């Protein structure tokens, strides 16, 4: 696991300064504190920071082929590298290391840009082909590892993180208002663009080839949700899933350093631990975080139960409002994209704890996306069936639901009532975004006149429509999964997972997002994912008896953080200072009166915490990346001051 960066000048007569590449790499030192390396030759410069996981004494990067004509910088893990290495040796390739990095170099020699088809793992890499004067970038199938690039007529700069690219003074920081609107539509930024013009994300499952001043972007993998026509019994489904999980876990345990587990107290992380316990005779460390608050479910008792069952050495952590607030500016600096993900801050702290014991963490991230574990999927599936049954009476039924929702003050009834009579394709954007939520519905009323003229709501949501058009032949249920696999998963969940763990120089592995598991899950019949009101039906059936019944049957709670209560109490004054000061208002996005009203309504009990957190993150993002040099101190951003009575207590305990 590493950080990579570099610059490619399109003019062969132009030179990349070595000092520039070094400065770019310095901004991502947290991704690789163990080693650094550079390759600078004329129009190309490659930079690297290493977190040593495999082949600790070898594997230095940038790394080349036998004659030095092909160079690579690589971030990630290739889990099938040992098999690939044997095949390449049989084809006559000579290896000088035992690293998975060198496997990619020789695969490129053998297969060219199709080398990505042979890789099983998480990766983002750049290959310089000095013979063809071409730069080749690639990102793994589902976007576990990030890769950004800036493109103009003179050069292409790339990096594992945005801040590496912004270390280049020739990269302008022009904010695109239309992307601000997309953020407020989704509460994250889906698709290949970022808030900075001409600075892009290489999307999951894509490659980029830069040659002769031109860039060709190609999609090399997509998830097919066409349900398999092969008849299988329930037992065969369960047996196949267990075999696949067992194999995947075996691959993900490959490491030359200690491996630990993040326990959420849920099915997926517990299942991963159960398989791992059978693969090693070494002690396993597990980590979890919880909150002693009436506002959220405390996950710790269920995590302890799993740790006791599988004999791990267990560590727990809880954080206070002060911890949460103190990290907010750094949260934005590490995340680099505005994302409404309060649980990410909890992930940072638990990763920090884990870094004292292990270099690699395994989590159950991805199980709900693969096997449909979110209530949203079940609810919308049955809702659409109910809509069809009402036929021409959908709109009157919707009006009745909306009225009842207002009487009962039920946000769920109100939103589902509004969807009556609205085609699925017109309201489904992704799992966490709906046109009936506050920002998608009301954000235009918050905008200043100048901002309102610069946004186009249809364009902001076009990213979902593009995915839905590709999913036209899938069932309604699978359309939801396809959209989320291409938006919510890489641009919200996986950004959080990578950035918060790498902030602490810890590698996070996500076995349930292995593409073999995703392909298997995508082809399952719908009733193996959701059956009646049971979500993740197949996973629960297959894992019955393997994990504790209390965990298997508990209701899903996500990764709860009591940030809503904190925004209304300990952080309330600071929120007002951030959103209403002259610096924030001078950006011209919002009307001051509208923001004042939103803050007031939230303090009076209306739940606009998600919206307020998003606005705070957006402003801190501007202060971090648009206003200033992102490589300097964070002190000037504005840290909240917490009253002593609200500090709370941070607790840490180890359970043998």
For the chain, the C-alpha Rg in angstroms (whole number) is: 25
SS3 state at 188: coil
Which tens digit of pLDDT belongs to each residue from 383-416? 899 888 888 888 888 888 888 888 887 877 888 8
- Whether residue 454 lies inside any domain: the answer is no
**Band of residue 380 on the pLDDT scale cut at 50, 70, 90:** very high
CATH of the domain at 155: 3.60.20.10
| Token pair for 391 | 């036929």
Mean pLDDT of 198-209: 98
Report the pLDDT averaged over residues 225-254. Answer: 90
Least confident of 305-319, 564-578, 590-604: 564-578
Give domain status of residue 228, yes or no. Answer: no
Q: What is the mean pLDDT of residues 586-612?
A: 92
pLDDT for res 356? 94
Please indicate whether residue 640 or residue 521 has the higher confidence score (pLDDT): 521
Give residue-wise pLDDT tens across range 132-142: 999 999 999 99
Specify the pLDDT at position 391. 86
**pLDDT 10s digits, 267-291:** 999 999 999 998 887 889 999 988 7
Could you tell me the sign of the dihedral formed by the alpha carbons of 251, 252, 255, 258, in that order?
negative
In a domain, 104, yes or no: yes
CA–CA gap between residue 585 and residue 376 (Å, rounded): 36
Among 109-118, 369-378, 620-629, which is the least confidently predicted range?
620-629
* Within a domain: 268: no
Contact between residue 441 and residue 435 where contact means Cβ atoms under 8 Å apart? yes
In a domain, 36, yes or no: yes
- Nearest C-alpha neighbor of 97 from the set 49, 59, 64: 59
Does the structure show a pLDDT above 80 at 260?
Answer: yes
Of residues 533 and 222, more confidently modeled: 222
Q: How far apart are CA 464 and CA 189, in angstroms?
A: 12
Work out the average pLDDT over 555-573.
77
Helices then strands, counting H and E runs in the chain, come out as 30, 20
In this prediction, residues 324-331 reach a mean pLDDT of 87
In whole angstroms, what is the distance from residue 35 CA to residue 50 CA? 5
How far is it, in rounded angstroms, from Cα 622 to Cα 585? 12
Whether 609 sits among the annotated catalytic residues: the reply is no
Mean local confidence (pLDDT), 23-50: 94
What is the structure's pLDDT at 55? 67
Angle at 253 (CA atoms; ends 117, 143), nearest 5 degrees: 40
Closest CA to 7 of 60, 65, 73: 73
Give the total number of structural domains in the chain.
1
pLDDT at 648: 36
What is the structure's pLDDT at 644? 36
Which domain range does residue 131 map to? 2-219
| In the predicted structure, residue 433 carries a pLDDT above the cut 90 | no
| Mean pLDDT of all residues in 233-251 | 95
Q: What is the rounded CA–CA span in Å between residue 143 and residue 499?
A: 13
Q: Is 58 helix (H, G, I), strand (E, B) or coil?
A: coil
Of 413, 426, 428, whose CA–CA distance to 480 is shortest?
428
Nearest to 283 by CA among 305, 307, 266: 307
632 or 565: which leads in pLDDT: 565
Q: Is the per-residue pLDDT at 642 higher than 50? A: no
DSSP-assigned beta bridge partners for residue 652: 317
Q: Which residue has the higher pLDDT, 279 or 521?
A: 521
Supply 480's token pair.
């939801």
| 651: pLDDT strictly greater than 60 | no
Q: Residue 535 burial by CB count (10 A; 0-12/13-18/19+): exposed, middle or buried?
A: buried
Of the candidates 222, 223, 225, the residue with the CA atom closest to the CA atom of residue 476: 225
pLDDT digits (tens, 9 = 90+) for 526-550: 999 999 889 999 999 999 989 999 9
Asked if residues 120 and 516 have their Cβ atoms less than 8 Å apart, the reply is yes
Per-residue pLDDT, averaged over 300-318, amounts to 92
Residue 470 lies in a domain: no
Burial profile 595-625: b = 16 or more Cβ within 10 angstroms, e = fewer: beebbeebbeeeebbbbbbbbbbbbbbbbbb
Which of 135, 199, 136, 137 is CA-nearest to residue 162? Answer: 199
DSSP E strands: which ranges in 145-227? 148-151, 155-159, 199-201, 206-211, 214-219
* Within-domain flag for 423: no
Which has more pLDDT, 467 or 57? 467
Those residues whose C-beta lies under 8 Å from the C-beta of residue 408, and which sit 6 or more positions away, are none
> With bands split at pLDDT 50, 70 and 90, how would you rate the model's confidence at 618?
very high
- Can you list the alpha helix ranges (DSSP code H) found in 13-94? 18-26, 81-90
Distance CA 337, CA 183 (A): 9
Measured CA to CA, the distance from residue 123 to residue 480 in angstroms comes to: 26
Render pLDDT for 3-20 as a digit per residue (tens, 0 to 9): 999 999 999 999 999 899
The whole-chain average pLDDT of the chain stands at 89
Tokens of 426: 């017109």
Which one-letter DSSP state was computed for residue 339?
-
Q: How many CA atoms lie within 13 A of 268 on its CB side?
A: 25
d(CA 326, CA 348): 12
Least Cα distance to 573 among 503, 523, 646 occurs for 646
User: What angle (nearest 5°) sits at the alpha carbon of residue 395, between those of residues 389 and 401?
Assistant: 90
Q: Do the domain assignments include residue 151?
A: yes
- Residues 138-186: tens digit of each pLDDT: 999 999 999 999 999 999 999 999 999 999 999 999 999 999 999 999 9
Encode 118-134: b = buried (16+ Cβ within 10 Å), e = exposed: bbbbbbbbbbbbeeebb
Q: Are 344 and 327 in contact (CB under 8 A)?
A: no
């Amino acid at each position: 696991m590493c950080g990579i960066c570099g610059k490619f000048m399109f003019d062969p007569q132009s030179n990349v300064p070595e000092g520039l590449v070094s400065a770019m790499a310095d901004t991502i030192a947290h991704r690789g504190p163990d080693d650094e390396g550079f390759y600078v030759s004329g129009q190309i410069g490659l930079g690297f920071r290493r977190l040593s996981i495999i082949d600790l004494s070898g594997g230095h990067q940038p790394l080349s082929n036998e004659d030095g004509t092909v160079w690579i910088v690589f971030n990630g893990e290739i889990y099938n590298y040992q098999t690939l290495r044997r095949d390449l040796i049989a084809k006559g390739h000579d290896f000088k290391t035992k690293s998975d990095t060198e496997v990619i170099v020789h695969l490129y020699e053998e297969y060219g840009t199709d080398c990505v088809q042979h890789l099983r793992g998480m990766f983002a890499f750049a290959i310089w082909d000095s013979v063809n004067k071409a730069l080749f970038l690639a990102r793994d199938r589902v976007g576990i590892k990030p890769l950004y690039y800036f493109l103009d007529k003179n050069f292409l700069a790339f990096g594992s993180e945005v801040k590496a690219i912004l270390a280049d003074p020739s990269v302008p920081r022009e904010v695109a208002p239309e992307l601000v609107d997309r953020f407020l539509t989704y509460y994250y930024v889906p698709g290949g663009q970022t808030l900075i013009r001409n600075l892009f994300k290489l999307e999951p499952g894509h490659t980029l080839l830069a040659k002769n001043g031109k860039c060709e972007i190609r999609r090399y993998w997509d998830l097919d949700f066409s349900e398999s026509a092969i008849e299988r019994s329930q037992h065969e489904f369960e047996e196949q899933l267990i075999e696949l999980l067992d194999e995947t876990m075996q691959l993900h345990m490959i490491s030359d350093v200690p491996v630990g587990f993040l326990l959420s107290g849920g099915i997926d992380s517990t299942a991963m631990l159960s398989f791992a316990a059978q693969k090693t005779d070494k002690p396993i460390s597990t980590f979890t975080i919880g909150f002693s608050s009436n506002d959220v479910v405390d996950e710790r008792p269920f995590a302890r139960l799993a740790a006791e069952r599988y004999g791990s050495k267990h560590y727990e952590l809880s954080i206070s409002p002060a911890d949460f607030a103190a990290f907010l500016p750094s949260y934005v600096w590490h995340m680099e994209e505005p994302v409404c993900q309060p649980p990410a801050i909890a992930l940072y702290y638990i990763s920090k704890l884990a870094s004292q014991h292990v270099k690699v963490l395994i989590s159950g991230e991805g199980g709900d996306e693969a096997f449909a574990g979110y209530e949203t999927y079940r609810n919308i599936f049955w809702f659409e069936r109910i809509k069809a049954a009402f036929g021409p009476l959908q709109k009157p039924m919707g009006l009745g639901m909306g009225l009842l929702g207002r009487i009962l003050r039920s946000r769920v009834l109100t939103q589902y009532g509004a969807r009556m009579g609205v085609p699925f394709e017109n309201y489904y954007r992704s799992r966490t975004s709906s046109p009936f939520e506050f920002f998608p519905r009301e954000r235009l009323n918050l905008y200043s006149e100048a901002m309102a003229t610069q946004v186009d709501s249809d364009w902001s949501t076009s990213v979902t429509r593009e995915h839905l058009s590709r999913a036209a032949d899938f069932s309604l249920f699978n359309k939801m999964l396809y959209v989320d696999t291409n938006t919510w998963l890489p641009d919200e969940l996986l950004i959080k997972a990578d950035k918060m763990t790498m902030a602490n120089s810890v590698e996070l592995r996500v076995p349930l997002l292995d593409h073999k598991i995703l392909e298997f899950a995508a082809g399952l019949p719908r009733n193996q994912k959701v059956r009646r009101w049971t979500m993740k039906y197949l996973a629960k059936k297959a894992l019955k008896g393997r994990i504790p019944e209390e965990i298997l049957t508990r209701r899903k709670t996500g990764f709860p953080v009591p940030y809503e209560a904190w925004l209304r109490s300990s952080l309330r004054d600071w929120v007002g200072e951030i959103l209403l000061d002259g610096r924030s208002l001078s950006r011209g996005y919002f009307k001051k009166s509208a923001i004042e009203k939103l803050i007031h309504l939230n303090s009076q009990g209306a739940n606009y915490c998600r919206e307020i957190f998003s606005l705070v993150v957006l402003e801190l993002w501007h202060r971090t990346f648009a206003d200033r040099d992102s490589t300097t101190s964070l002190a000037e951003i504005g840290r909240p001051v917490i009253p002593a009575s609200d500090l709370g207590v941070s607790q840490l305990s180890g359970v043998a």
